[in-house]
Structure 1
Amino acid sequence: MPRAAVVVGRAGTGQHLLTSKDAAGFELHWDDHDVLVVQLAGEKSWEVRGASRPVPMFRDAEPNTEPSEQIVWTGTMAPGDVMHIPRGHWHQATRTDRDAEDGSGFSLHVTFGIVARTGADWVAWLADQARDQELFRHDLAHHDDPEAQSLALSGAVAGLAQARPPGEFLVGRRRAQRPARHLSTFGAFGPPERVVCVAEFPPEIDTADDGTVTVVAAGRRIRFAAKALPALRPLLSGNPAVVADVAAETGLDAARIAEKLMRENICAEAGPELSSGYTGLATTG
């Protein structure tokens, strides 16, 4: 069997890398986001270097192609080990000297990319918000009074930035970010027994004086009667919830509430495949 390095699965900003024999993973490189590496099986040797450009970006003002000479850490990861690699740090992995004597060894690790937003993202978002104002929708052309045009536009930009600060951008993103695709049976095999919240960010649960509770997540805003709150909390906790248990503990029609959350793509049925993501993944000795 030839040596190999295979990406066996990818979803969003996560990936699994299976390597056999002395194959390396990726060549020395950097990522434009923080990375968490979890070793699942076998062993893998790593070299992590410092950043050669402060907080580099994928789309940047200049290329970032020269690796740093500063070696931050070298070592071997075993099953269950977790490593954080900050954005911009150069790194590479190899299986050299990690194989069994007969060359039949293999290594499997999973990486999770943690993508944060930057000031440049906020400015891009502001450009979209600017479309609400007629001034920004006019054509740019040679102007009879270019100074007046410049003052008008720069003043409007400053006012927009003050009215829409970075915090509003981040909150809006949390509320509007749609979840990744998840398998849904839509009741084809009967009512779901377990459900789990699949929103990218924790849902906002707001109670009102009018006897209602509002759930804001995944670009949705759903209103329930306030009495649904005891069932909403476990269903939206981010952990798989057994619908029958929620119903027994709250005395509410948890199945009906769960169905509404699934139809709005905030929750999904926690079948065997989805549930496996909440169990122990690292192999034991």
Structure 2
Amino acid sequence: MDVAGLMTWDDLNTLLTTQRLQPPRMRLHRGGPPLHVDDYTESVTTRRHTVWRRLQPAELHARLADGASLVLDSVDEMHRPIARLAEDIERMLRTHVQANLYASWTGTEGFGVHWDDHDTLVVQLDGSKHWRLYGTTRPYPLYRDIAQPDQPPEEPVADLVLHAGDVLYVPRGFWHAVAADQGARSLHVTCGLRTHTPTDLVAWVCEQLLVHEVWRRDLPRLDSPAEQAEVLRVLRKLLAEQLDDPLMLARYTRAMDSLAPGRMVPSLPYVGPVPADGDLRVRLTTARAVLEVGDDAVTLSAAGSVFEFAPGAEVALRPLVDGKTVALATLAAAAGLDVTVVAGLVQELVTGQVAVVGSMP
């Protein structure tokens, strides 16, 4: 994979310098638990009596040289190239992605042998990282589960080294240990994928069933066994009817896509109506918008909102749904519309918090 431009050490230095990254957003780990925040930051109280933590570079360097790993959560919210990577994965796999950044310098493991409750795609950005994968002792464990996995096997099932540009997939529940023990520093990003389980599906189906009065009633906990059995029969019938739909998983996926909020971005300085400026560029803030084309209208569902446009708007909306950043003039020309009309369409999307305009690349 070409990782050029995704994230550099200079980019990381800039984030650490310009952002107030309060723990646990930014933290250090060595062998498992996080280091105490006083080990590498100092407390600062402003004149307005707010308290924040100021990074101490010399102390940070000392902790990292002594084996700590630096972790920066949700770096996709702070660094546009990583956000684009996360959005591309979201568009392909149809689920939310959170990207965390990890930097380390020694053979000391930041977390020890552990497992994650979500699938992960690992992209090595710089240097090299030693991964030991031990397999799973409880298939598909969950964050909220009724049991924890047994202890990991003593011997790994895979022992490998990632170099810049390498990509590794780690299924949830796979015990693993990671260290930069190849004589080189390491910088990598992990893209965690939100799980979608039968529990999630049934919870969503139950919400759809709220249209039925019986699904909203109190449970007949104090009624006779016969009356309770009758209520359960009705509930079971309604639930079974929903699950018998062969398109149920497709409906669930479209619903989750249409609700995904994406990464909200303001459109400053354009706080009023979007100007009819052909050079102004627009993109969607969510990678999972759903575009449905009917005979009489085009419907865009995104970030929990639904927008309805005339059929001719499809040509202007399609590149945005595909993840492109496009100038208003380009959209207008493709759709055969005036730039003023396209600016009005885009204004609806900006107001609905599903699009952003500016001079973006």
Which TM-score bucket, shorter chain as reference?
0.7 to 0.9
The match for 1:96 is 181
**Cα separation, partners in 2 of 1:215 and 1:262, compared to 1, 3 Å:** same
Q: Please state whether the residue corresponding to 2:157 is helix, strand or coil.
A: strand
Q: Distance in 1 between matches of 2:132 and 2:282?
A: 40
Q: Distance in 2 between matches of 1:91 and 1:27?
A: 8
User: Is the aligned partner of 1:256 residue 2:341?
Assistant: no
Q: Please state whether the residue corresponding to 1:16 is helix, strand or coil.
A: strand
Q: Please state whether the residue corresponding to 1:41 is helix, strand or coil.
A: strand
TM-score, normalising length: structure 2: 0.65
Q: Which runs of 5+ in 2 are unaligned?
A: 1-60, 78-96
Q: Please, which of 108, 111, 116 is the counterpart of residue 190 of structure 2?
A: 111
Q: Distance in 1 between matches of 2:226 and 2:253?
A: 34
Q: Please, which of 182, 192, 198 is the counterpart of residue 285 of structure 2?
A: 198
1:168-194 deviation digits (Å, cap 9, x = unpaired)? 333322222322333442615985832
Shift of 1:33: 1.6
The match for 1:142 is 222
**Cα separation, partners in 2 of 1:70 and 1:206, compared to 1, 3 Å:** farther
Name which of structure 1's ranges 109-118 and 160-169 shifts more when overlaid on structure 2. Answer: 160-169
**Cα separation, partners in 2 of 1:14 and 1:185, compared to 1, 3 Å:** same
1:5-41 deviation digits (Å, cap 9, x = unpaired)? 1113415622111223444333221122210000111
The sequence identity of aligned pairs, in percent, is 30
Question: Relative contact order, CA 8 A, sep 6+: which one is greater?
Answer: 1
Q: Please state whether the residue corresponding to 2:116 is helix, strand or coil.
A: coil
Contact 1:236 1:267 in 2 (8 A): no
RMSD: 2.7
1:67-124 deviation digits (Å, cap 9, x = unpaired)? 244623211111111111112111121012333xxxxxx3211111112311111222
Counterparts of residues 110-259 of structure 1 (less than 5 Å) = 110-136=189-215, 137-143=217-223, 145-163=224-242, 166-167=248-249, 168-185=251-268, 187=270, 193-208=280-295, 210=296, 212-252=297-337, 253=339, 254-259=342-347
1:145-185 deviation digits (Å, cap 9, x = unpaired)? 21331232243233223225542333322222322333442
The match for 1:8 is 72
Q: Distance in 1 between matches of 2:222 and 2:310?
A: 58
Q: Distance in 1 between matches of 2:183 and 2:266?
A: 37
Aligned-partner residue type, residue 310 of structure 2: A
Q: Which runs of 5+ in 1 are unaligned?
A: 100-105, 276-285
Shift of 1:262: 2.1
Contact 1:17 1:25 in 2 (8 A): no
Aligned-partner residue type, residue 95 of structure 1: A
The match for 1:59 is 144
Q: Distance in 1 between matches of 2:358 and 2:105?
A: 32
Shift of 1:54: 1.4
Q: Distance in 1 between matches of 2:357 and 2:200?
A: 33
